[in-house]
């Protein structure tokens, strides 16, 4: 699986959009290539979706949002709309998310043929220069949307395969290099009035950013210190062995209830002996120096309390990350945290992008002056601003070129199957 071109072009760069469309669509097909038709239908829990659905939904998005914006477009399979609409009430009915794994029809072959036909129509429109400003904007959004689903596809199939007692690998040939040992230090930041967020896109002609990242606004951030590295497997194993999952004083009330009712006693995918974990390459020995992954917010928060620290706010995290290049462990031939890391300037936090999404203590809420995108795309982010926590940074499964310092990911605090970990923070005297 070779890396693809990093950036998605601006709406006015037609040649760049053509290249971006080809690369993003091809990369999704490459990610799905190791899966059988049986694999692609699996839905192992209500929060996940079958790979077949990801392949179809991202294609439906282009048909409805881009091709469908032209009144001359004849829908390919209008009867499939109810199956592949995710949550856009303004675009019609949709099948219950928790029952996507019951959809044996259309077949995987039919879904792939649907992708091919939509791609052919999209390429004809692109080649003819017939997009216009509105459809070009929808195309850019659709490409970033599909990149999000690339990561979801990997997280969802990993969970599904982990439920098989045979522990089959998604791809047994994925590369793995040991993570170099590194000592942790703390980087201090003085109190400051900090600009947070990204300019609204596309109204201000700015580079792409989701609507939940805007507008740019100022936040008073107190003095703090941020750990130079994410928490590692070895450090988290110390927490487990110190009975961290049996000490209620470390846990938020909802988290402690999850520990008790769901029997949590180690990270998702760790073996009982705490020496191996399930990966997309199958079971592998635990790399002690790699960032710990597949933690819920509750687990991250409990560890931070045990360590005498806390989770950073999303504003602290963005302040520290904003000056750094967006470089990290994004190699699709690896798809696991750890290994060598890109160099950063002396004294700066390391492994900020890639490896693991980092939980923050910030609830997912609108920025002051938030305005959702116009039309159906306005349902993309804003309506989920309740009961979720913000994660920052991106993971080993995030597509290269998809991230930025202002990027706000969000999940419920109990979510464990995403590629999520943590970095410690503490107040600065």
Q: Answer for the pair 63, 84: CB distance below 8 angstroms, yes or no.
A: no
Q: What is the end-to-end Cα distance of the chain in Å, rounded?
A: 48
The helix-helix angle for 108-127 and 14-32 (nearest 10°) equals: 170
Q: Is the pLDDT of residue 1 over 60?
A: no
Q: Which residue has the higher pLDDT, 209 or 1?
A: 209
What is the reported pTM? 0.96
Percent of the chain with pLDDT over 90: 86
The encoded tokens of residue 202 equal: 């596309």
**What is the C-alpha separation between 232 and 247, in angstroms, rounded?**
21
Q: Whole-number mean pLDDT of the chain? A: 94
Instruction: Please give the average per-residue pLDDT across 38-55, as a whole number.
Output: 98
Q: List the single range of 95-109, 140-154, 368-382 with lowest mean pLDDT.
A: 368-382
Q: Which residue has the higher pLDDT, 127 or 355?
A: 355
Q: What is the pLDDT of residue 7?
A: 58
**What is the C-alpha separation between 145 and 404, in angstroms, rounded?**
15
pLDDT band, residue 2 (cuts 50/70/90): very low
Q: What is the pLDDT of residue 12?
A: 64
Domains and CATH numbers, the chain: 14-162 (1.20.120), 186-427 (3.90.1580.10)
pLDDT digits (tens, 9 = 90+) for 282-315: 999 999 999 999 999 999 999 999 999 999 999 9
pLDDT digits (tens, 9 = 90+) for 316-345: 999 999 999 999 999 999 999 999 998 888
Q: Is the pLDDT of residue 177 over 60?
A: yes
- 263: number of Cβ within 10 Å: 8
pLDDT digits (tens, 9 = 90+) for 234-260: 999 999 999 999 999 999 999 999 999
Q: Is 257 helix (H, G, I), strand (E, B) or coil?
A: helix
Among positive and negative, which fits the CA dihedral 49, 298, 364, 144? negative
pLDDT digits (tens, 9 = 90+) for 97-121: 999 999 999 999 999 999 999 999 9
**What is the C-alpha separation between 219 and 186, in angstroms, rounded?**
22
Q: Answer for the pair 317, 358: CB distance below 8 angstroms, yes or no.
A: yes
């Amino acid at each position: 699986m070779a890396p693809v071109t990093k950036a998605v072009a601006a709406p006015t760069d037609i040649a760049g959009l053509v290249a971006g469309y080809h690369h993003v669509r091809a990369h999704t097909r490459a990610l799905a290539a190791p899966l059988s038709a049986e694999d692609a239908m699996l839905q192992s829990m209500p929060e996940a979706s079958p790979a077949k659905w990801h392949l179809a939904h991202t294609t439906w998005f282009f048909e409805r949002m881009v091709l469908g914006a032209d009144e001359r477009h004849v829908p390919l399979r209008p009867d499939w709309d109810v199956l592949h609409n995710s949550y856009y009430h303004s675009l019609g009915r949709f099948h219950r998310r928790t029952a996507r794994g019951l959809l044996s029809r259309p077949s995987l072959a039919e879904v792939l043929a649907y992708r091919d036909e939509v791609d052919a129509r999209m390429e004809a429109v692109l080649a003819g220069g017939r997009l216009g400003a509105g459809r070009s904007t929808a195309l850019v959004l659709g490409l970033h949307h599909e990149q999000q689903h690339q990561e979801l596809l990997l997280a969802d199939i990993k969970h599904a395969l982990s439920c098989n007692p045979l522990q089959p690998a998604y791809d047994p040939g994925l590369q793995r290099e040991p993570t170099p040992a590194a000592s942790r230090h703390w980087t201090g930041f003085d109190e400051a009035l900090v600009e947070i967020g990204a300019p609204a896109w596309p109204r201000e002609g700015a580079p792409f950013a989701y609507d939940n990242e805007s507008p740019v606004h100022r936040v008073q951030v107190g003095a703090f210190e941020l750990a130079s590295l994410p928490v590692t497997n070895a450090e988290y194993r110390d927490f487990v062995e110190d009975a961290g999952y049996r000490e209620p004083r470390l846990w938020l009330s909802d988290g402690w209830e999850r520990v008790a009712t769901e029997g949590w006693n180690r990270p998702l995918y760790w073996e009982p002996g705490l020496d191996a974990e399930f990966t997309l390459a199958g079971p592998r020995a635990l790399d002690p120096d790699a960032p710990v992954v597949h933690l819920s917010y509750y687990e991250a928060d409990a560890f931070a309390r045990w360590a005498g620290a806390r989770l950073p706010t999303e504003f602290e995290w963005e302040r520290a990350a904003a000056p750094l290049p967006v470089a990290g462990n994004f190699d699709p031939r690896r798809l696991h945290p750890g290994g060598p890391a890109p160099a950063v300037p002396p004294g700066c936090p390391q492994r900020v992008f890639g490896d693991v999404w980092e939980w923050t203590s910030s609830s997912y809420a609108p920025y002051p002056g938030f305005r959702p995108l116009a039309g159906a795309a306005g349902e993309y982010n804003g309506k989920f601003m309740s009961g979720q926590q913000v994660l920052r940074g991106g993971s080993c499964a995030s597509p290269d070129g998809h991230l930025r310092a202002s990027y706000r990911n969000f999940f419920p605090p109990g979510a464990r199957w995403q590629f999520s970990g943590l970095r410690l923070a503490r107040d600065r005297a």
